[in-house]
Structure 1
Amino acid sequence: MSAMDMHAVAEQGLAVLWRVTWQGALWALTVWALTRALPRLPSSARAALWWLVGLKCLVGLCAPGLVRLPLLPAPESPPAAGVKVDTAPAHPDTALEAMRMDGEAPLVEPSPERTGTHGVVLGVLLAWLGGLAWQGWALLRSLAQLRRIRREARPLEDATLHQAAAALGRELGLARIPRLRVSEHAPSPLALGLLRPEIILPRAALEKLSPQEQRMALAHELAHVRRGDLWLGWVPALAQALFFFHPLVRRACREYALAREEACDAAALQATGAEPHEYGRLLLVFGVARAPAAAAMPGASSHLAALKRRIAMLEHAATDSMQRPRWIRWALGGLALVALVPIQVVAREPEASTPVLALAQAPSTTLKDTYVLLHSNDSATMSGSMEDLRTAKALAGADGKPLAYVRRGGREYVIRDPQTLAAIGAAFEPQRELGEKQAKLGEQMEALGEKQAEVGEKQAALGAKQAALGAKQGELGGKMGEIGLKIAELALARARQARTDGKESPEHERQEEQLEREQEALDRQMEEYSRQMEALGDEMEKLSEPMKQFTRPMEELGRQMEELGRQMEAHSREADKKVQALLDDAVRKGLAEPVKR
């Protein structure tokens, strides 16, 4: 793959990433507004709404086709520069060729490449790939930890718990009850496995929990299986990994995880008939001790604020249910359909394509003559083939004196009469003037294009800063997860000691306070990163305004170029008639000399 190909692929990938980034932000803000406007919305509905944010991001990134919304004005591409243009009517077998020549090949000087953005574009894309690799490594590490827990777990032999699981499964509507296993290393009850779900219970908890608490813990994990969280959780997990730099996507994934846990809490309360205060005590033991960031579903936040929210939700658990009201199901279904439609805001299509080179379109009339009007050895106007051009140059000789080479009815002529040549050249004069106007318009469009490129470079530089800041946020998130896990382990140890000794250890309390201080410091640092990311977003928004200002004059120049193209076509037809008449007159007057082979 060439460097240009790599740059094109990088630009395309970055454009897709940027499109999905702003669309994901729009969806996240919409869901946030809905959840604030409807505070009593069931937890299961809130979880579904936040899940749709992750789905929208994945669909936008992976969808092969897009629904294009033509909401932007259509900018025109500047024409190729450095082309001297003479035009003539086209022969039916050949397109019109009007060019400068060097030997036998047409010389077209390409417009200079603007390669300043190549490094920036590739740098941004590589930064994203690096962050993605880091996220993937963290996810694989968590998966390995869960797999180790599952491998070391042993079948549960308590028949009472098996009977309780069967009864709770029927109550929740499960057709198949997951296998129950027990583990020495699980920090809390876990639901694992996509094809063969299993529920793993901590052995220490089984020894300390009352039968009612054991049933509530079982009901919570069975609710995860009933809701399909083991499968559905992959959507926000992958979205968070792919858009690690996006604060709103990360927030959406956290809100999904928390709402999902609240929905399972409500389902467990309803299935067991327990009192909210009883379930609240269970959350104090397990609420901050979730599994390592998990296989298929990122765990709910381990921060104490999340635990407080879950406990507060228990007061309204009676209004939440796995059976959503019909209007909520219809609304979520409609939003899901919209989320599955990948959109792209594009420029409106122009009414007619703008000519790139100042070349007249081939007229529909059929010409009886093929000719080459040779101005010099490096410039010609022709309606014929390259072979005709070579013949004309050979007839002109080394001096390259002007002549007209004509092929008519199987016979060949050469015209050297100055008046006839001048008259033929005059027939193309309006087209040459139009070509000069087009060249000037092309220069203006190129200048605007360069200004747009400068703004684009600034936007790419801001994008690189956002990617770097996102990588820092991802690294900080990993540290917060580690501290959260330590807090969970410490909370479990405190609960065990409280049940054993009837009092809590001052050392445990001191360690927990220290971890909470570290967590708060990381929260403040994360908030600072979020403010910096928001500031970069504001700068990016400011740059979009000059880009729009360049687009409007570019569109006007495109319309002018289009009008010149129509005039060029009309003059081409008129010049065709004049040239044919001049050639007929030259043959009739004997000014056309037969070519001898």
Structure 2
Amino acid sequence: MPTFADLVLSRLAHASAQAVVLGGLALLICRMLPSLSAGMRATLWWLLSAQMVVGIACPSLLELPLLPAPRAHASTTIVIDARHIDLPSAATTMPPSDGFPWTTLVLVLWAAAVLVQLVVAAWRARHLPGMLRRAMPHDDARVEALCARRARELGLRRSPRLAVSADVTSPQVIGAWHPTILLPLDDGLDERERDMALMHELAHVRRGDLWLGWLPAIARSLFFFHPLAHLAAREYALCREAACDALVVSHGGQAAQTYGRLLLRLGVSPQPHHALPGASPTFLTLKRRLTMLGRMHETPPRAFTLALVAVVVVAAALPWRVVTARDAAPASAPVVIAPRPPAAPAPPAPPTDGVLPSAPPAPPAPPAPPVGPARGTQVVRVTSDTRPPKAFIYYGGDVTVMSGDKDDFRRADAARHGNTPVAWYRDGEKAWVVDDPAYLKRIDAIYAKASQPAEAARERAERGARVAAEQAALNERMAKLSQRQADLVAHEVRPGPDPRTRAEYAEGHAAIGREQAMLADQIATLGRAQAEQGRLDVDMARRQKDANDQANQALDSLIAEAVRNGVAKADR
């Protein structure tokens, strides 16, 4: 559960952060282009809602490898022989959860809030079926003909149903699957105003607003905590109405002033849920609709607005995430894990009459164990591309440590006289040389202590290699027994005279089975030994890391002491 909670919350956080970018871009475009058409404005705010929903529902984010890859300051290869490490099951490797599961609590609270909003929305929509049932068919043939003609002019394949309802005070369209235009019983509109009101509702049907309007509502429910989700839903509803207003003026042959007077006459009425009315919900909305109606003839070219929306979609609406290059060199030491050999084949099942078992293939030879550094020699760390802030190069008796770039190696070689031990250290632009025998002896002691876990790990690796060789030999013997059993079955089912009786064949099968059982026990014993060896190797790797960290701290303290005491000589 915590993993799922972390996944959902991370998607919510990323979608919320990206919504800030897209919302800011939409606000900037609307501010810089006041003459932008209402349809394009509605598209921008709808894209913001869509980005939020896609950001949380998307199974994987789009990764753009645009960031530069981090350069490695050191190239160290660590080889782990997987043959001697028994990987435990996921149930045993998962650490017990400590503390209170805050992420799970936050996810539960978020889901409860979303569920409450869904219940409230369902409660508000409970009256819609009854409203449609109570609506009476429209009996004016002239209005029916006018609605059908305007529907054809707007490109609709069929005209929506017309009905009269006492539950509405202004014309509105309802129903996503089967749109119905509801007209009030006493609308008080003349023929021209009724024509424009019908065209406004038909424009909603043509634009698909009854379907598209669900996405901002869903985004507002899922991101109820995000102010931009509420802003996007509100601005989309306003621009959607303004886009239908512009469609009525452009296709209806009416002047903008005439349609504006109709909006003033329809006035302000509360916004019904799951329906699209012609009236405005607030005075501010009515004022903004009239303002946008007066600018509808100042809109920029359609090609420009389409290109602008495409750029917004690619730049801010898609759920992308900028990451580093995939082919970048790793900043830390790579870990190379030797492949685990296949498990020993299970003993073959006892033969059945008339069935010839096939002999299993011979097990592959185990891979050679990795070759580690020689005894007493530390892993060489080299940086050749980037100058690290610090460098340390030590030439000892049987210990050689290198951490620096090519210039550091050159300066350290110049400071060394012949094959005498020397330690060269650089911090920033200052460098020192330590050749005091007492300090060099202490450096040897530090590395000798750090190499003890590595020596123990090497011995364990050798023992694991011997165990693997024994297991390979047992697997080979098991394969030979399977071949003998297959040959015995082949002789038993072969037609023709046979000097051996069925009892003799049964005794032969039993002898092979006993030997197979003995080998299986030995293989199981070796498997348990390998499992124990793997656990010890994991513990040894932890000890080796701790020893390396302690050695680095001790070495830093020793060099600082040598600099303070004047034992370290400045290297010019």
Of 352, 372, 383, the residue aligned with 2:464 is 383
Does the 8 Å CA contact 1:257/1:300 hold for their aligned counterparts?
no
Inter-partner Cα distance in structure 2 for 1:17 and 1:347: 22
Aligned twin of 1:343: 320
Does the 8 Å CA contact 1:290/1:302 hold for their aligned counterparts?
yes
Does the 8 Å CA contact 2:200/2:248 hold for their aligned counterparts?
yes
Q: Which amino acid in the other structure matches residue 248 of structure 1?
A: L
Residue correspondence of structure 1 range 128-527 to structure 2 within 5 A? 128-205=110-187, 208-289=188-269, 291-294=271-274, 302-319=281-298, 325-333=302-310, 335-336=312-313, 341-346=318-323, 351-352=329-330, 366-367=367-368, 382-384=463-465, 436=543, 438-439=545-546
Does the 8 Å CA contact 1:44/1:320 hold for their aligned counterparts?
no
Of 33, 36, 51, the residue aligned with 1:38 is 33
Aligned twin of 2:5: 10
Inter-partner Cα distance in structure 2 for 1:142 and 1:15: 32
* Residue 185 of structure 1: how far off its partner (Å): 0.3
Deviations 1:122-170 (A, max 9, x none): 1211121122112212222233233332222121111121122123223
Inter-partner Cα distance in structure 2 for 1:156 and 1:49: 37
Q: Which amino acid in the other structure matches residue 69 of structure 1?
A: L
Does the 8 Å CA contact 1:153/1:184 hold for their aligned counterparts?
yes
Does the 8 Å CA contact 1:257/1:301 hold for their aligned counterparts?
no
Aligned twin of 2:60: 65
Instruction: Choose between structure 1 and 2 for higher RCO, CA contacts under 8 A separated by at least 6 residues.
Output: 1
RMSD: 4.5
Inter-CA distance 269–361: structure 2 relative to 1 (3 Å threshold): closer
Inter-partner Cα distance in structure 2 for 1:71 and 1:121: 31
* Residue 215 of structure 1: how far off its partner (Å): 1.3
Q: Which amino acid in the other structure matches residue 67 of structure 1?
A: L
Does the 8 Å CA contact 1:190/1:291 hold for their aligned counterparts?
no
Does the 8 Å CA contact 2:12/2:56 hold for their aligned counterparts?
yes
Deviations 1:216-250 (A, max 9, x none): 11111011111111121122121112111110121
Does the 8 Å CA contact 1:139/1:294 hold for their aligned counterparts?
no
Deviations 1:346-369 (A, max 9, x none): 566563596899998999995599
Inter-partner Cα distance in structure 1 for 2:80 and 2:208: 69
Inter-CA distance 68–284: structure 2 relative to 1 (3 Å threshold): same
Inter-CA distance 112–196: structure 2 relative to 1 (3 Å threshold): closer
With 215-224 and 337-346 compared, the bigger mean Cα shift is at 337-346
Residue correspondence of structure 1 range 50-89 to structure 2 within 5 A? 50-70=45-65
Inter-partner Cα distance in structure 1 for 2:80 and 2:160: 80
Deviations 1:50-89 (A, max 9, x none): 11111111222222232113467999xxxxxxxxxxx999
Q: Which amino acid in the other structure matches residue 165 of structure 1?
A: C
Inter-partner Cα distance in structure 2 for 1:263 and 1:192: 18
Structure 1 or 2, whichever has the larger Rg, is: 2
Q: Which amino acid in the other structure matches residue 258 of structure 2?
A: E
Specify the SS of the correspondent of 2:295: helix
* Residue 436 of structure 1: how far off its partner (Å): 4.7
Of 119, 123, 127, the residue aligned with 2:109 is 127
Inter-partner Cα distance in structure 1 for 2:151 and 2:35: 27
Between the two proteins, the alignment pairs up a number of residues equal to: 367
Deviations 1:558-592 (A, max 9, x none): xxxxxxxxxxxxxxxxxxxxxxxxxxxxxxxxxxx
Does the 8 Å CA contact 1:10/1:122 hold for their aligned counterparts?
yes
Percent of aligned pairs sharing the same letter: 34
Q: Which amino acid in the other structure matches residue 238 of structure 2?
A: L
Q: Which amino acid in the other structure matches residue 327 of structure 1?
A: F
Does the 8 Å CA contact 2:35/2:296 hold for their aligned counterparts?
no
Inter-partner Cα distance in structure 2 for 1:307 and 1:67: 41
Does the 8 Å CA contact 1:97/1:383 hold for their aligned counterparts?
no
Inter-CA distance 386–442: structure 2 relative to 1 (3 Å threshold): farther
* Structure 2 spans left out of the alignment, 5+ residues: 71-77, 342-364, 371-454, 472-518, 520-537, 552-572
Inter-partner Cα distance in structure 2 for 1:264 and 1:310: 10
Aligned twin of 1:488: none
Does the 8 Å CA contact 1:194/1:230 hold for their aligned counterparts?
yes
Deviations 1:180-237 (A, max 9, x none): 11111023212122232221111121xx222222111111101111111112112212
